[in-house]
Structure 1
Amino acid sequence: MNETKTQFEKIRFKDLVWTDIISPNREVLTSIQKKYKFHELDIEDCLTENQRSKIDEYDKYLFMVLHFPFFDSTKKLLVIQEIDIFIGQDFIITIHDGVLRPVMDVFGKCMLSIKQRKRFMSNGSGFLLYEIIDSMLDEGFRLVDYISNNTHVIEKSVFNVDATRKDMLKDILILKKDIITFRRVVSPQRTVIAQLEHKNKKFLPENLELYFDDLVDKVEKTWSNLESMKDLVMSIQETHESIISHTTNNVIKVLTIFSVIMLPLTVLTGFYGMNVSLPFEQHEAAYMIVIGGMIVIIGAMLGYFRWRKWL
C-alpha cells in the first residue's frame, strides 16, 4: 500500500459493520488484527502489494486480495490497483489506496443515506461483498469500452492513407500495454470470483449463488472482450507494419531507379570530361549532342522500367 495518510471510517447497519481503510499503516492493521483475530500473514499481505488475486478461507472469516484496473490520467495508462477484503458473518473490511472510485462511491452512499445502507447492507456481509465487487466490474466494463473506442480510432487511422504515421506505432503499443495490464488483472480473478460460490456458507449463503454467478458471467464477458481486442490490436499492428514496409520499399525503389538512371549519365559526363580527343569534340553542336544522348538514355531506361512494370 502507498505511504499516504491513513483514513479509517466505519458504517453500522443493524448487526453489520463495514470498515473502510485507506492506505493503512502497520499500527492500524495490528489493531484490526487483535480485534478480529486475523492471521498475521493476511496482515502482511495488506502491507505489501500482491501480484495475483487470491482468496483464503478461515473458520471465522474470508480474506480476499483482488485487483482492478484504474486509468491514470497523468500517465494516460491503465494501472493495477489492489483491494484487500476481510469478510465475516457480521463485518466486512475493505483496504485500498483510495483511487478505486466505485468502492468509495458505494461507501459514500451508505455513509450519507439510511436508504442506501438498507439497500446495500440489509442482506448481510455476503450481499455487500457482491455489491462492492459488482461495482468494480461495472467500472471494468467502462474501461473495456474506452479501450475498444481507442482501438477503433487507431484502426481507422491505420487504413487512412492520408494519416500521419509518426506517432501511430506509439499509440498502438500503448493500447497493447493497456490490454496486457487488463488481462493480467482479469486472468487470476476469474478463478477467485468463481471460488466465491463454494466458500463458507456462513458468509456467503446459498441464496446469493445467483448473484455470484452474475459476477462470474461479468468476469468472463470482460475476458472475452479483452481476447477479441488483443487479436484485433495484433492485426492492426501487423497491418501498420506491412503498410510501413510497403511505403519504405516504394521509397527505396524510387531511389534505386534514380541511382540506376544516374549511373550511365555519370559515365557519359565523366567520359567527356577527360583531357583527350573525343568524338564530336569539334562539332559545333557537340553540347546539344551530349545533352540529347543523355535524354535518350533517360527515356530508354524509363521505358524499360515501365515495360518491366517497375514503375
Structure 2
Amino acid sequence: MITIYKSSASGALQKIEAFEKKCWVNMVAPSKEEIREIAERCTIPIEFLEDPLDLEESARIEYDEETNCTLIVNDLPIADDSNPQLNSYITIPIGIILGEDFIVTVCSQKTNTIENVIKKQVHTSLKNRFALEVLLAISTQYIMKLKNLNKQRLKIERNLQDSLTNKQLYNIMEIEKSLVYFLTSLKANGDVITKLFRSHSIKLYEEDEDLLEDVKIENNQGIETTELYTRILDSITGSYSSLISNELNNTMKTLTLFTVFLTLPTLIFSFFGMNVALPISGQEPGSWITTLALSAILMIVIAVSLWKRRIF
C-alpha cells in the first residue's frame, strides 16, 4: 500500500493523490509492482526499498553515490500477534530513504510510529529533519512499550505472591523475550544515531543537531530502562527458583518423615507376626498392647533423635 503526503504551509501533513516534489511516500507491505514503480519515479535503488522488508535486516546507514540517496534502517517495536493474551513485543525494520526530491518510508507492517509522525507538524521539504522526527518517534515508542511491559511485570509479581503457576512463569518468559528484542534493537539503533553525527551524506543544521541529540537521549534512556527491567526480571526469576526449590525440599522432607514413622510400626508388627517362636505369646492378653508400646517407644526415640538433629 502506498500513501503520499505533503506538508501544508502550517506544517500539517495532507494526503495527496499524485506524486509531487518534496512529498513523503509511505509504503506499507508494498507489492513488487509498487516497489518497481516507486524505484523508477523517485530514482531510488530497488534494493533500498526491498531490504527493509526483510525482518532479519539489521539497522544501518547506506549511501548510494549514483542516485544520491541515503538509506536509514532502524528497528521499531510492534505487538507480537503470536501471543494475544499478553502484550509482548518484537521488533521489525523500517527504512527511511532520503532522495533528491522525495522522502520514502517502507515497512512490512502498519505501525503506530508512522501514525504519530502524521499527527505532528512536520515539513516534508526538510528531508533530514523529517527523518529525525521519524527516528524520535521510534525511540518514543520504545519508552511507551517498556512502560507497558513494566506494568505487566508488576501485575504478575503481585499474582506470584499468592500462587505460582506455569502460566505466570510463561508470561515472565514472554516479557523477557520482549526485553531481549528491545535491547538488541536499541543498541543497533544507537549505532545508527552515532553514525548520523558524522555522516557526510546527511547535512544537519543547528536545530537538526539538537533534534538528533534528543533522539540519542531517548534511545539511551530506552537502553538503560531495558537493562534495568532485565536485571529486575532476572532477580525475580532467580528468587522464585530458589523458593520453588525450597518448597520442593520441604515437601520431600515431610514425605520422608511420614515414610519413616509409618515404617516403624510396620517393622514391629511384621516382626511379631512371623510364624516362629517369639518372647510374647499370642495367647497372652497384653501381647497387642506390648507391640503397640514397643512401636510407640521406637517412634519416640527416632523423633527425639531427629529433633536433636534439627531435622524437624
| Aligned with residue 154 of structure 2, among 147, 152, 155 | 152
CA distance in 2, matches of 1:207, 1:106: 18
CA distance in 2, matches of 1:174, 1:290: 60
Partner of 1:41: 47
Give structure 1 stretches of 5+ with no counterpart: 1-6, 110-115
Alpha-carbon offset, residue 303 of structure 1: 2.2
Alpha-carbon offset, residue 271 of structure 1: 0.9
CA distance in 2, matches of 1:201, 1:274: 98
CA distance in 2, matches of 1:122, 1:41: 23
CA 225–83 in structure 1, closer or farther in 2 if over 3 Å, else same: same
Pairwise mapping of residues 62-73 of structure 1 onto structure 2 (< 5 A)?
A: 62-72=70-80
| Aligned with residue 64 of structure 2, among 58, 66, 71 | 58
Deviates more, 1:131-140 or 1:119-128: 119-128
| Aligned with residue 99 of structure 1, among 110, 116, 119 | 110
CA distance in 1, matches of 2:107, 2:29: 6
Kindly, what percent of the aligned residue pairs are identical? Answer: 20
| Aligned with residue 7 of structure 2, among 10, 13, 16 | 13
Do residues 303 (structure 1) and 304 (structure 2) align?
yes
CA 47–148 in structure 1, closer or farther in 2 if over 3 Å, else same: closer
CA distance in 1, matches of 2:53, 2:173: 32
Contact 1:62/1:86 (8 A) holds in 2: yes
Pairwise mapping of residues 114-263 of structure 1 onto structure 2 (< 5 A)?
A: 119-121=121-123, 124-158=126-160, 160=161, 162-200=162-200, 203-263=203-263
Pairwise mapping of residues 283-302 of structure 1 onto structure 2 (< 5 A)?
A: 283-302=284-303
Partner of 2:264: 264
CA 85–202 in structure 1, closer or farther in 2 if over 3 Å, else same: closer
Deviates more, 1:243-252 or 1:81-90: 81-90
Deviates more, 1:181-190 or 1:72-81: 72-81
Alpha-carbon offset, residue 91 of structure 1: 2.1
Q: Secondary structure at the match of 1:210?
A: helix
> Match for 1:302: what amino acid?
A
If the length of structure 2 is used for normalisation, what is the TM-score?
Answer: 0.86
Give structure 2 stretches of 5+ with no counterpart: 9-20
Alpha-carbon offset, residue 201 of structure 1: 6.0
Contact 2:268/2:294 (8 A) holds in 1: no
